[in-house]
Amino acid sequence: MLRLNRLIKHTNSSYRVSLLLPQKQQQQEKFFDPLPSLHSFQMTSTRFLDIYQLGNKAAIEKERARLKDEMNRGYFADMEELKQHGGKIGMANKIIIPAMAAVKFPNLEVNFSDGKTLKLPFGSNGNKADAESSTSPKASLLCLSFRASSQAMIDSWTMPFIDAFHDAKNIHLYEVSFIDSWLLCRNPIKRFLLRIMRKSSADANNELQKQIVYSFGDHYYFRKELKILNLLTGYIFLLDKFGRIRWQGFGLATKEELSSLLSCTSLLLEEK
């Protein structure tokens, strides 16, 4: 993740110079790392409407609403919030969310460092036969990271989780890194990024292994569905075998929250 952050810094820095941004703005962007340029932000936000949508009034209004939403909540708002509470935007669930009240985790396609793709979560179609398959986990912990600054937060959850369930064979653990830069999502650079990430591997001594995956592209509507605003903090979701969210945590783990996570995971393993 740190290696990826350095590459993003280098790419954004070169791109800003080519756009001849004012010196004062460049200094601010260098201090707040990684801060995308305004031009890169606009390219990510507008996503270039398809030609057939140019005359579609509804599509244009939807894109305008999105741009307004993103401009109202930017990097500096995230940074200010991070200074206030260190990424702890909310407290984790104390008890497991009842199955009847749980919502599905949005479908997400991710890439392994070897280029293979995977669709998360397992059992997301709600099919009982698939959920009870021998390959389907009874519990999955998904740790979402949008910026390198949240890596320590993610580790505060995953390391104790692996220690507690290292012998479990029906639990999956995924660390998902989101890459939404328009330039870094281009196929040649995307393949290069995955290639240099191949050294990141799970500990083979553990039955439960942390699988590091990457999601490329636009994640605006994915984030909206999960009500994710601050991109500088980490998000933790515990899913059941049907892909439903049964527990959620944020930022750095506390002792009480870890206890809650481990307890809720044990309950999921016992569910039938």
Q: How confident is the model at residue 54 (pLDDT cuts 50, 70, 90)?
A: low
Q: Is residue 110 part of a domain?
A: yes
Q: Which residue has the tokens 């009034």?
A: 57
The Cα–Cα gap between 220 and 45 comes to: 9
Distances (CA, A) of 132 to 7, 63, 167: 42, 40, 20
When pLDDT is averaged across residues 22-29 and rounded to a whole number, the result is 38
Q: Is residue 47 part of a domain?
A: no
Q: Is residue 154 part of a domain?
A: yes
Q: Is residue 25 part of a domain?
A: no
Q: Is residue 197 part of a domain?
A: yes
What DSSP string runs through 108-162?
EEEE-TTS-EEEESTTTT--HHHHTSTTS-SEEEEEEESSGGGHHHHHHHHHHHH
Q: Which residue has the tokens 């393993």?
A: 269
- The total of structural domains in the chain comes to 1
Q: Is residue 18 part of a domain?
A: no
Residue 164 is encoded by which pair of tokens? Answer: 């507690």
The per-residue pLDDT for 180 is 86
In this structure, what CATH number is given to the domain that contains residue 189?
3.40.30.10
pLDDT tens digits, one per residue of 172-215: 999 999 998 877 788 888 888 888 877 544 444 446 888 999 99
Q: Is residue 35 part of a domain?
A: no
pLDDT tens digits, one per residue of 73-108: 666 777 887 788 787 888 899 999 999 999 999 999
Phi and psi at 174, nearest 5°, equal: -125, 135
Partnered with residue 18 across adjacent β-strands are none
CB of 170 within 8 A of CB of 138? yes
Q: Is residue 158 part of a domain?
A: yes
CB of 202 within 8 A of CB of 211? yes
Give the residue numbers spanning the domain of 221.
79-125+136-270
